[in-house]
Amino acid sequence: MEEDVFESKKTPLLDIIDYPKDLKKLSKNDLPTLAEELRQKTIDTVSKTGGHLGAGLGVIELTIALHYVFDTPKDKIIWDVGHQSYPHKILTGRKDKIHTIRQPNGLSGFTKRSESIYDVFGAGHSSTSISSALGMAAARDLKKEKFSVIAIIGDGAMSAGMAYEAMNNAGSMYNRLIVILNDNDMSIAPPVGAMSNYLSRLASSKSYLKLRSVLKKLPNSITKYPRKFEKATKEWWMGGNIFEEMGFYYIGPIDGHNLDILIPILENIKDDNSNTPILIHCVTQKGMGYNQIMASDDKLHAVKKFDAKTGLQAKVNNPKPSYSAIFGEALAKFAKKDKKILAITAAMPSGTGLDIFAKAFEKENNSKNQRFFDVGIAEQHAVTFAAGLACEGFKPFVAIYSTFLQRAYDQVVHDVAIQKLPVRFIIDRAGFVGADGPTHAGSFDIAFLAHLPNFVLMAPANAQELVKMIKLATKIDDKPSAIRFPKGESPSEIDFKNLDQIEEIEIGKGQIVKKGKDIAILSYGAILENVLAADKILSDSHNINLTIADARFCKPLDKELVKKLAKNHQALITIEEGSIGGFSAIVNDFLIKENLLNNLKIQNLFMDDKFIDHNDIAKMQELSGIGIKNIVDAVLKIR
């Protein structure tokens, strides 16, 4: 077997560094070599574990410079979207555990306060760093303490409104704050929007450096090079204007991979005692040092296990299509015949399957007849943008991960539900998501949508049900609707050639999957797969014959189905992959109002009232009370 070039290289400098205090013992001349070793260590780690790679590789030099100059953890470094923090973890006491990252009982793939004093703020979602950093800076000054607070924001996070809310506030206060804009021209997907274009112009013009070179020649340059001076001054003003108008002292753009530039600038800022907030515009490359080996459209944002030498990722034998891919393919097929169907995502086209839709309408997307919209990391805007489209008679499908939809809850309530606008929400990653842990688990969407008037809430048990629900959603024109589905493969597949013949389902109608006696299980969504597995165990080992029903809808609830189950069985178990207050609450309320609980035993299975650390999805379900064994135990207990 040929030797792995990354694993075989020695890392003598990194080997002697356990904490930032060790890093400070190195000379500045050693730091570029350390950067190579840290990059190598990051690649080698992720090749074995899978996970986020590109963002970390893009901040190798920046991470070293920050810990070399500042006195962490007294000085506080806040990483926006913690997936860029792998190198930071290696340098802050977790080098020997980095191989456990995103693994069961291992390090988190994001910053996590309970994991290390160097992780001063937890971040799995984007655009939180400036707000939290400003809060820490204000608290520092209230306590009359002295330390620096540095927020590193980037990887597309500057497209979110929260970042500007924080900057607007920071610019009007007198708390010293350092913001580093990690401008890598990427998020998960290629960046979109005017701000991205603006930053690209700044980076390409290198306006600040041009101005500096001209100013050094004053006063002669004014007469000798009048046009050059005028041009450079204009470019500098455009460059610094938006940030300086918000009250920040702007520095940049600078090369975020050049330690000879980074360290002097950070040292000067650290020693400066002014109370003006500072923004340093660093231009970096996501996936730096490995893009030429493992090419990807998302600049190595997230990868499976791979061979570090060749960049080849591990292959899955005969994979079934994911729910996301099935959604994207089906929506594209329906949209071919219905020109009012539009698709919207918030920087997650590939994750939600809408890259398939976008490709199908590539020609239209490059014209005024646009069918697909990626609005960037801006979930609030995505929802209200869709509401505006719905007002004009279009059929917008907004595909957002469950955990990210939380960021737009007010817009869902105020801009969509109250106005009964027919926005179709596609809630991806509903339920546990595995290695990304609690920050990305889709735990709450059933509960936070179930109590909103005017909503149709659906959850498919498999691929066929998903396509039926998409077809139904295209016809719901008088109210909002939502379809939730989990991460991963569907237990069944779909024939896309015969979508026209697919069964029509009625709003609010569930179905009996299997007839039994005595005990009934009413399942909502893809967790039905666990129910069927538990049923086999109960049938084979305990001779228990269950009735199994697929609710399909949380709202409107199939009241006749629930009433039938309650009257014909001595016990009823409900199950959902969501938190308390969701589907079971709707069922229980109906049972109480209909006086159906007198002779009925009932048990509700939903996620336990706790956050579950990253693990295998099946294990997370078990730890939260909705795994296969939990269902078996619930049936044996209630019979």
596 and 536 part of one domain: yes
Least confident of 128-132, 313-317, 403-407, 414-418: 313-317
pLDDT over 70 (residue 189): no
Residue 433 lies in a domain: yes
Least confident of 98-102, 187-191, 353-357, 571-575: 187-191
420: left (phi over 0), alpha (psi -120 to 50) or beta: left
CA nearest to 300, candidates 616, 40, 43, 9: 43
Please tell me which residue, 179 or 306, carries the higher pLDDT value: 179
Task: For strands 395-401 and 519-524, give the pairing.
Answer: unpaired
For residue 198, give the amino acid letter: Y
CA nearest to 466, candidates 511, 502, 512: 502
What whole-number distance in Å separates Cα of residue 557 and Cα of residue 555? 5
639 is catalytic: no
State the pLDDT at residue 275: 86
383 and 258 part of one domain: no
Residue 412 per-residue DSSP state: I
Please tell me which residue, 509 or 367, carries the higher pLDDT value: 509
465 is catalytic: no
621 and 520 part of one domain: yes
493 and 515 part of one domain: no
pLDDT over 50 (residue 6): no
Per the residue annotation, which of 407, 424, 471, 555 is the catalytic one? 407
Count CA within 13 A, CB hemisphere, residue 403.
19
pLDDT over 80 (residue 28): yes
For residue 355, give the amino acid letter: D
In this prediction, what percent of the chain has a pLDDT beyond 90? 64
In angstroms, the first-to-last Cα distance of the chain is 58
404 and 422 part of one domain: yes
pLDDT over 70 (residue 349): yes
What whole-number distance in Å separates Cα of residue 405 and Cα of residue 383? 9
What whole-number distance in Å separates Cα of residue 226 and Cα of residue 88? 46
- DSSP string computed for 236-272: HHHHHHHHHHTTPEEEEEEETT-HHHHHHHHHHHHH-
Per the residue annotation, which of 140, 176, 206, 286 is the catalytic one? 286
- pLDDT digit string, tens, across residues 260-278: 999 999 999 998 888 889 9
Residue 589 lies in a domain: yes
State the pLDDT at residue 579: 97
Structure tokens at 344: 């919207």
632 and 588 part of one domain: yes
Structure tokens at 454: 């005017």
Range of the domain at 516: 511-638
Structure tokens at 142: 């209230």
For residue 625, give the amino acid letter: G
Under the banding of pLDDT at 50, 70 and 90, the label for residue 315 is confident
482 and 620 part of one domain: no
CA dihedral 458, 461, 466, 471 (to 10 degrees): -60
Q: Is 344 helix (H, G, I), strand (E, B) or coil?
A: strand
563 and 616 part of one domain: yes
- pLDDT digit string, tens, across residues 530-550: 999 999 999 999 999 999 999
Domain limit, last residue, from 501, 521, 539: 501
State the pLDDT at residue 589: 97
Residue 212 lies in a domain: no
Instruction: Count the Cβ atoms, other than its own, within 10 Å of residue 118.
Output: 21
Residue 411 lies in a domain: yes
- pLDDT digit string, tens, across residues 557-567: 999 999 999 99
Q: Average pLDDT, whole number, for the chain?
A: 87
Sign of CA dihedral 464, 466, 469, 471: negative
pLDDT over 70 (residue 475): yes
26 and 132 part of one domain: yes
134 and 199 part of one domain: yes
297 and 338 part of one domain: no
What whole-number distance in Å separates Cα of residue 168 and Cα of residue 164? 6
State the pLDDT at residue 223: 39
State the pLDDT at residue 154: 81
What whole-number distance in Å separates Cα of residue 253 and Cα of residue 240? 10
- DSSP string computed for 128-178: -HHHHHHHHHHHHHHTT----EEEEEETTGGGSHHHHHHHHHHTTS----E
State the pLDDT at residue 237: 43
- pLDDT digit string, tens, across residues 316-325: 666 788 999 9
What whole-number distance in Å separates Cα of residue 146 and Cα of residue 537? 62
Do 453 and 479 form a contact (C-beta atoms < 8 A)? no
Helix H segments across 429-558? 445-450, 463-473, 528-542
Rounded to the nearest angstrom, the gap between the alpha carbon of residue 228 and the centroid of all alpha carbons in its chain is 44
Residue 317 lies in a domain: no
What whole-number distance in Å separates Cα of residue 34 and Cα of residue 91? 11
Under the banding of pLDDT at 50, 70 and 90, the label for residue 201 is low
Least confident of 185-194, 218-227, 530-539: 218-227
pLDDT over 60 (residue 426): yes
Please tell me which residue, 113 or 215, carries the higher pLDDT value: 113
**H or E element at residue 513:** strand 511-514
The most confident of 3-17, 74-88, 485-499, by mean pLDDT: 74-88
- pLDDT digit string, tens, across residues 42-81: 998 888 888 788 888 999 999 999 999 999 999 999 999 7
Do 537 and 628 form a contact (C-beta atoms < 8 A)? yes
286 is catalytic: yes
Per the residue annotation, which of 61, 235, 329, 379 is the catalytic one? 379
What whole-number distance in Å separates Cα of residue 509 and Cα of residue 532? 20
Residue 550 lies in a domain: yes
- pLDDT digit string, tens, across residues 497-530: 788 788 899 999 999 999 999 999 999 999 999 9
CA nearest to 488, candidates 306, 316, 296: 316
- pLDDT digit string, tens, across residues 455-473: 999 999 999 999 999 999 9
What whole-number distance in Å separates Cα of residue 476 and Cα of residue 508? 12
The most confident of 60-69, 95-104, 304-313, by mean pLDDT: 60-69
State the pLDDT at residue 454: 92
The total of structural domains in the chain comes to: 3
Strand order in the sheet with 547-550: 511-514, 547-550, 519-524, 571-576, 601-605
CATH number of the domain at 616, please.
Answer: 3.40.50.920
Residue 242 lies in a domain: no
327 and 384 part of one domain: yes
Residue 310 lies in a domain: no
pLDDT over 90 (residue 110): no
State the pLDDT at residue 297: 66
- pLDDT digit string, tens, across residues 137-155: 999 999 999 999 999 998 6
In this prediction, what percent of the chain has a pLDDT beyond 70? 89
Structure tokens at 97: 């555990």
State the pLDDT at residue 300: 72
Under the banding of pLDDT at 50, 70 and 90, the label for residue 218 is very low
Under the banding of pLDDT at 50, 70 and 90, the label for residue 363 is confident
Least confident of 226-235, 318-327, 376-385: 226-235
CATH number of the domain at 52, please.
Answer: 3.40.50.970
Residues 6+ apart with CB under 8 A from 358: 343, 349, 365, 372, 374
CA nearest to 290, candidates 58, 567, 588, 481: 58
